[in-house]
Structure 1
């Protein structure tokens, strides 16, 4: 996973691109792990079982100028990411 990018290095294969996310939020200090969530995820349809197992909630990571260089990042915008394989 490469944060801040939407293309893979040469000779790598792009699996998907999306938005950087974290399980941590303002009051939840259990985070620390970042994941790339697919920009076009598949989802369950009405015919599928729709139960809430109270799993983890993921929050998009927003760029903050000062902690990240602006440009290329834009303040308040979601940080992109790409998942690549070799």
Structure 2
């Protein structure tokens, strides 16, 4: 009988929590968040495009600098992993 009362109490608690309305954000806060989120998405797409195999620098000097650094890093072969043979 005790477990049934606990389950009924839990279900009532869940109903009460579900009935509480979540706080609303001001429209200007939502707009600012969406603008920041779209800026992050645009930066991510930009870096993904520069990281692609067929990346070509555009008219923007930042494109040329980032692509140049990427090609410089890619041109140097990575050394093999360090090993400790002294046992």
Q: Is TM > 0.5 for Structure 1 vs Structure 2?
A: no
Higher relative contact order (CA 8 A, sep 6+): 1
TM-score, normalisation: structure 1: 0.19
The structure with more strand, counted as a fraction of residues: 1
Higher helix residue share: 2
Output the TM-score relative to the length of structure 2.
Answer: 0.19
Greater gyration radius: 2
